[in-house]
Structure 1
Amino acid sequence: MMPGAIRCGCGILLLALVATSSRADETADPQQLLAQMASAMRDLDYDGSFIYEHDGRVDTLRVFHAGGVDERERLISLNGARREVVRNSRSITSVQPNQLPTVFGAESNRRLVPLVPEARAEGLQENYTLRLIGEDRIAGFSAQVIDVQATDKYRYSYRLWLEKNSHLLLRSMLLDADQHSLQQLMFVALNIGGHVNETDLALSEVPARTIAAQAQEVLLTTPSEWKLGELPAGFSMSARRGPADATNNAEHWLLSDGVANVSVYLEPANTAPGVLTQGKISRGVLNVFVRNLNGYQVTALGEVPPATVEKIADALTHAAPAVAH
């Protein structure tokens, strides 16, 4: 066979491979891939190192994760002062330099790896445009790249790289309305499906004592004195909680659009913590808006644009008499 024929044959084979890949991309369902990503992050065993770019700094971290019913994970900083966080089904323990370890109540959907959107199916495509935009290679793994594009100014967009076989998240970028990166993480080394040792999931040192971050919250079932008006499109309440000790009329509402989450704290003004009494504050992509209403402090915060927390805080009305001072 002549060399030209060989080159021609290779070219035809390459075109066939490209065409097959293109057809697979066209038939893939981005929403299904996002659901598979959520399952993979929860159910698989994996460990790896990743870089996390945020708030003008770059951190290098290592994660150990044991999936399944008794999901557990541990996150360790690899640069700067040593910090680590351990999570299980009951609690989250955070160890920071020169501080006693702090224990928080666990939430089933709170992950230690940042920039992993929940991507719940309800209303997702009404507020985001989902597109499979190509393939890439991250940490030695082939990846499918998905754009989760916000349709208005009330939410950020994501670009996600998912490992082709397991659908585990390999890289994530949070994007503003101009498609500029606000935060991103990327795995640089990763082991998927390997055994994670018990010692890898425990704190490096057993603390002599710990402190509790705050009183545990419980789900509230009694009628609320608060009402919600017009919210940013797609947002609705996903949970309503309050302090377990019920020492005051404080409530904690969780709102979501299926990807982005906002917390709203409703507390009597004379018991609300913090120094901000009115107005807005931003820390990286975390935005906070506080207003006083009828003797209460309303605080809305989340990794959403400033307009979102302000609109949500302004949507709250209080039906009960003013709190006595």
Structure 2
Amino acid sequence: MTRTRGIQWLVLLCLAPLAAPAEEAIDWLRKMDQALNTLNYQGVFVRLRDGQVDPMKVIHRVHDGHAVERLIALDAVGREIISKGEEVVCFFPDSESVVVEKRSGHQPLLGAVPALSDEVLQNYLLSVKTGKSVLNRAVVIVDVTPRDHFRYGYRLWLDERTGLPLISQVRGGQGQIIEQMRFASIEFPDEIPEAAVQSGIDVTGYRWSYPGHQAKQTPGKVEQAWRADNLPAGFVLATYRLNNQPQASQPVVQMVYSDGLASVSVFVEKPGPDEKPQSGPHRMGAANAYTLLVKEHLVTAIGEVPPVTVRDIASSVVTGTTINR
């Protein structure tokens, strides 16, 4: 989004007095996005969610314009995640398994960090202010505040020099912290060796699975399409596809609804004859899910949004008409 277009959005929303702060905040969010994807950095951060503290080491290497990111859990198990190109590889020493999945989008693996799009000013208020130093580095604080109760907000402490988020919080409607990521140490080396972003786990004898690769999108017409009829303001359909899953009698419908910052994925599938699906809400950190049965199909909505949002979207899913793609 250009600077001029951003100001036009604010005028339309009768927020002309806030135009300068909002535009400054957008500039900082763009700088954050660029830092996360184009800089060499490595450090240790702590993720706090559901009362659990998870220390992690991150190594982000960029070489010839290509980024590779490696996360290492600093606990007794030592799980690792490596993101490269269109793939995310998860190493599980406790179960002696490796899972290779297709990457959804190009967001970093840190968590608690929002993505920026052109529609953000329709659904969020943005502001920026100077904050106290973090790790002896000057920072600015960017607040992304939702306009209603259907989405979470963010507070970001961005390094003034690089734009990297040194602290990132997902916040609820009362300002409570839902999830937090905070760096305990960070450095920006000019070069990072390739070996640093390769797994140090001996995977001899491990079981490998490729769930994201086995799910194939069905081309052409989508018969008996599904749709959500009750969407919170600002949410629109961003993706609709059918995935052929192994051992599934019917393709799994996947719909993604987005407001330009937050997104909710909705899955519709026919449960197996021996399955006993549990309806109701589920939660892990900032992610909420809601599951129910609709016309003998299992509908699950999941996303980093408040529980009411996934509940309302899942509860409004109905069968629609054939869609040509």
Normalising by structure 2, we get a TM-score of 0.83
What's the counterpart of residue 100 of structure 2? 103
Shift of 1:219: 7.5
Cα contact 1:85–1:92 (8 A) shared by 2: yes
Select the residue among 21, 37, 44 that pairs with 1:42. 37
Work out the CA distance in 2 between the residues paired with 1:233 and 1:27.
21
User: What is the aligned residue count?
Assistant: 295
Match for 2:138: what amino acid? S
Determine the structure 1 residue equivalent to 2:113.
Answer: 116
State the Cα distance separating 1:194 from its structure 2 match: 2.7
Contact 1:254 1:263 survives alignment (8 Å): yes
With over 3 angstroms needed to count, the CA separation of the structure-2 counterparts of 1:27 and 1:254, relative to structure 1, is: closer
Show the counterpart of 1:165.
Answer: 161
1:305–1:276 distance in 2 versus 1, CA, 3 Å? farther
- Write out per-residue CA displacement over residues 297-324 of structure 1, whole angstroms, 9 at most, x where no aligned residue: 1110112111000111123211379xxx
Once the two structures are superposed, the pairs formed by residues 151-190 of structure 1 within 5 Å of their partners are 151-190=147-186
Q: Report if the CA contact (8 A) 1:63-1:73 is conserved.
A: yes
SS of 1:259's equivalent? coil
Partner of 2:287: 286
Please give the alpha-carbon distance, in whole angstroms, between the structure 2 residues aligned to 1:183 and 1:269.
32
Taking only the aligned residue pairs, the percentage that are identical comes to: 25
Change (3 A) 1:28 1:263: closer
Distance 1:234 1:304, change over 3 A: same
Q: Is the contact between residue 219 and residue 240 of structure 1 (CA under 8 Å) also seen in structure 2? A: no
Q: Which has the larger radius of gyration?
A: 1
CA RMSD of aligned residues (A): 2.5
- CA shift, 1:161, in A, is 1.0
State whether structure 2 residue 70 is matched by structure 1 residue 71. no
Q: Given that residues 228 and 314 in structure 2 are in contact (C-alpha distance below 8 angstroms), is that contact kept between their aligned partners in structure 1? A: no
| Equivalence for 1:84 | 80
The answer to whether residue 27 in structure 2 is matched with residue 32 in structure 1 is: yes
Distance 1:206 1:48 in 2: 23
Q: Which amino acid aligns with 1:235?
A: F
Structure 1 CA distance, aligned partners of 2:228 and 2:287?
A: 22
- Report the CA distance between 1:262 and its aligned residue: 1.2
Could you give the per-residue CA deviations for residues 163-182 of structure 1, whole angstroms, max 9, x where no partner exists? 11221111101111111111
Query: For the residues of structure 1 that align with 2:160 and 2:132, how far apart are their CA atoms?
Result: 10
C-alpha change, 1:104 and 1:290, in structure 2 (3 Å) is same
Shift of 1:94: 1.1
Q: Aligned partners of 1:242, 1:140: CA distance in 2, in Å? A: 49
Unaligned runs of 5+ in 1: 1-24
Listed as ranges, the matches of 1:43-62 within 5 Å are 43-62=38-57
2:32 and 2:219 mapped to 1: Cα distance?
A: 31
Contact preservation (8 Å) 1:64, 1:200: yes
